Amino acid sequence: MMQYFYETYGLKIGSDLVLNDYWTDEHPEVVRDVMIERGKVPGQIAGNCIHRGPNWEMSEDAFIIHVPRVGAYLIEAGNRIVYEAAPKVEDRDVGLFLFDVALPILLHQRKVVALRASAVLVNGKAVLLCGASGTGKSILAESLAQRGHPVLADTCASISLGAGGMPCLLPEGPKIRLWGRALEKKGFDPVDHTVLRSCKLKYLVSSLPASREQAAIGAIYFLIEHRPPRTAGIERLDAINASHYLVMNALRPRLLQAMNLMPKFFSMAAQMSAKSEMYTLTCERDVTVFDTFAGQMDAQWQGEGTI
What DSSP string describes 18-52?
--TTSEEPS-TTSPPSEEEEE-PPPSS-SS---EE
Mean pLDDT of 18-43: 91
Phi, psi (deg, nearest 5) at residue 206: -115, 10
State the pTM of this model: 0.91
User: Judging by DSSP bridges, how do beta strands 113-122 and 80-85 pair with one another?
Assistant: unpaired
Number of H helices, E strands in the chain: 8, 20
Give the pLDDT confidence score for residue 1 in this predicted structure. 64
> Does the pLDDT of residue 103 top 80, yes or no?
yes
Instruction: Report the first-to-last Cα separation within the chain, whole angstroms.
Output: 45
> Does the pLDDT of residue 262 top 70, yes or no?
yes
Q: Are 226 and 252 in contact (CB under 8 A)?
A: no
Mean pLDDT in the chain? 89
**Model confidence over 221-255: pLDDT tens digits?**
999 988 777 778 899 998 889 989 999 999 988 88
Phi, psi (deg, nearest 5) at residue 270: -65, -40
Give the pLDDT confidence score for residue 200 in this predicted structure. 65
List Cα–Cα distances, 174 to 23, 32, 183, in angstroms: 7, 20, 17
Give the pLDDT confidence score for residue 40 in this predicted structure. 96
Give the pLDDT confidence score for residue 199 in this predicted structure. 55
> Does the pLDDT of residue 38 top 90, yes or no?
yes
Q: Over pLDDT 70: what percentage of the chain?
A: 95
Give the pLDDT confidence score for residue 196 in this predicted structure. 66
What is the C-alpha separation between 121 and 52, in angstroms, rounded? 38
CA dihedral 118, 176, 36, 39 (to 10 degrees): 120
User: Judging by DSSP bridges, how do beta strands 56-58 and 51-52 pair with one another?
Assistant: antiparallel
E strands, the chain, are 4-8, 11-15, 23-24, 34-38, 51-52, 56-58, 62-67, 71-76, 80-85, 113-122, 125-130, 151-153, 156-161, 167-170, 176-179, 194-197, 200-205, 215-225, 233-236, 277-283
Give the up-direction half-sphere exposure of residue 61: CA atoms within 13 A in the CB hemisphere.
4
Give pairs for 73-78: CB < 8 Å, separation 24+: 73/41, 73/97, 73/98, 73/101, 73/102, 73/105, 74/39, 74/41, 74/42, 75/102, 75/105, 75/106, 75/109, 77/109, 78/34, 78/106, 78/109, 78/110, 78/111
**Higher pLDDT, residue 281 or 186:** 281
Mean pLDDT of 110-127: 95
Q: Of 26-40, 113-127, 170-184, which gets the smallest average pLDDT?
A: 170-184
Give the pLDDT confidence score for residue 139 in this predicted structure. 93
Q: Side chain identity at 282, as an amino acid letter?
A: T
> Does the pLDDT of residue 192 top 70, yes or no?
no
Rg (CA), the chain: 19
Is residue 186 very low, low, confident or very high in pLDDT (cuts 50, 70, 90)?
confident
**Model confidence over 50-76: pLDDT tens digits?**
888 899 999 999 999 999 999 999 999
Q: Which domains does the chain have, with CATH numbers?
A: 4-110 (no CATH), 114-304 (3.40.50.300)
Give the pLDDT confidence score for residue 225 in this predicted structure. 86
**Model confidence over 143-175: pLDDT tens digits?**
999 999 999 999 999 999 988 889 999 999 998
Is residue 191 very low, low, confident or very high in pLDDT (cuts 50, 70, 90)?
low
